[in-house]
Amino acid sequence: MTNLTALVIDDERNLIRSIRFALMDQGIEVLGAGTAREGLELATSEQPDVILLDLGLPDLSGLELLPRLRQTLPEIPVIMISAHGDTRSAVRAVKEGALDYITKPFEWDELVVLIRRSSEHSRMARELSFHRQRHRHTHRLVGNSPQMERLRQTLEQIGRSSGKTVLISGPSGTGKALVARSLHDVRFADAPFIEINCAALPEQLIEAELFGAERGAYTGATQHRNGLIALADGGTLFLDEVGELPLPLQAKLLSFLENRSYRPIGSSREVQADVVVMAATNRDLKSEVEHGTFRSDLYYRLNILPISAPPLAERSDDIPLLMHHFSQQFAAQEGCEPPAWSPEALQLLHHYDWPGNVRELRNLVERITILHPGQNILPRHLPDELQTDTDAAPQPAAYTEAVEDKERQLILAALQETGGHKGLAAERLGISRHALKRRIQRLGL
């Protein structure tokens, strides 16, 4: 059954026929065009999943047709076909918008992998585009899991309300600042978003930062200073790590939340500010209240509109979208090709518990993009901590005895080919030596 369509634009008809024949059994339908004009017409009418474009065409060069394809069909990935020795032009094409290139003569297996990878890249890009359009205000939040859909719905509801105090809770690395910014975008078209990390400054500086100070109010105050509340007037003040706020300042913050007025340090006059206050914490503030380290009245005043940022382990279905998003982001930043993630690597990432949440995932993608740009990422490219629980991860319901037998055959074949050397066998299988050892024990080999 055909599940992909590839358009080959090449004046070598024999090559098109060979590609069509070779990919027939792979579920890939091949359309052919011998000229740039014919290729552009077919691409527009048929909307293929992938376009393979030869550099040398009789009417236009591939480099001349590429920008027309990118302008007309920006979401369809283009793979350049170059003759041996002409890779410089192919690399130039990649810089100008082609997703990848392949050099003649090429291996059919390599071509299939490239087509499927390019199609998956395009699908993920379209899915991200769809969700960003659908949630135009919350486009910063990547993911379509039920948890993220509920979060978006909550943000839209709160954003349409008149409520001005929000408490965002969740473990470190879940993106609480991103949630706050997304909620701000729902409510305001053009208004200030002012952020302060309550754990980053000493007590005396936090007060001045928040409320401002008059000249001479304290040593070093040589002029009047507006506080962040004044700067946020008409918009949002985001208090990150509010659980770290010292008790004396908690009282002053509570007073401000009650009537939206405050006094700068050293001033005798009250200042009004129309500010939405969003606070975030990774602490259990109820427990902090019980231990006397957080004021109960401030907690209940902040907790009028609570929002929870879900841990990544609870929305692991979002991992592929996040990987694609961060891969594209860091590849653009580094000026390189994004890495491709093998199914085996993605499975490890799916089963990992992510104690550092999205921040940990983002850091991993940045590291992989820098160290292995454009490469097919296998389990051996991943840090050891992601491989330690491979066999402890719950197996899907479809994991049958036949799959286990296939795994046993692969391991035995790798051991035979390497003369029983477990390190070399693990490298050939694309897993760590420790993971191979656990598999051998589990399979009773």
* Confidence at 430, pLDDT banded by 50, 70, 90: low
H/E element, 377:
strand 376-377
Q: Contact at 8 Å (CB) between 6 and 50?
A: yes
User: What integer pLDDT is reported at residue 212 of this predicted model?
Assistant: 86
pLDDT-derived band of residue 393, with 50, 70 and 90 as boundaries?
very low
Identify the CATH class of 313-386. mainly alpha
Q: How far is CA 19 from CA 112, 159, 390, in A?
A: 10, 53, 38
In the chain, CATH 3.40.50.2300 sits at: 4-132
Q: Where in the chain is the domain with CATH 1.10.10?
A: 401-443
| 175 or 122, greater pLDDT | 175
Return mean pLDDT, the chain: 84
Does position 292 have pLDDT exceeding 90, yes or no?
yes
- Provide CB contacts within 8 A for 434, sequence distance 6+: 384, 387, 388
Indicate the pTM of the whole model: 0.59
CATH of 401-443, one of 1.10.10, 1.25.40, 1.20.950, 2.60.40: 1.10.10
Handedness of CA 116, 119, 125, 126 (dihedral sign): negative
For the residues of 174-235, what is the DSSP string, one character each?
Answer: S-HHHHHHHHHHHH-SS--EEEEETTSS-HHHHHHHHH-B-TTSSTT--S-B--HHHHTTTS
Token duo for residue 334: 């580094």
Q: How far apart are the first and last CA of the chain?
A: 38
pLDDT at 241: 94
373 vs 119, residue with greater confidence:
373
CA distance 175 to 356: 11
The one-letter code for the residue type at 373 is P
Over the stretch 224-282, which tens digit does the pLDDT of each residue have?
Answer: 778 899 999 999 999 999 999 999 999 999 999 999 999 888 888 889 999 999 999 99
Of 134 and 185, the one with more pLDDT: 185
d(CA 387, CA 98): 34
Provide CATH 3.40.50.300 ranges for the chain.
146-310
Quote the tokens at residue 278: 């969003």
Residues 6+ apart with CB under 8 A from 243: 198, 281, 282, 283, 285, 288, 294
Average pLDDT over residues 67-92: 82
User: What is the Cα–Cα distance from 280 to 239, expressed in whole angstroms?
Assistant: 6
pLDDT of residue 395: 45
Architecture of domain 4-132: 3-Layer(aba) Sandwich (3.40)
Single-letter code of the amino acid located at 153 = Q
CB 280 within 8 Å of CB 245: no
Q: Where in the chain is the domain with CATH 1.10.8.60?
A: 313-386
pLDDT, residue 396, reads 47
pLDDT tens per residue across span 143-160: 888 999 999 999 989 988
How far is C-alpha 293 from the chain's CA centre? 36
What pLDDT score was predicted for residue 391?
Answer: 43
Task: For residues 320-347, give the mean pLDDT.
Answer: 88
Q: Which CATH superfamily is domain 146-310 in?
A: P-loop containing nucleotide triphosphate hydrolases (3.40.50.300)
- Helix (H) / strand (E) element for 333: namely helix 319-334
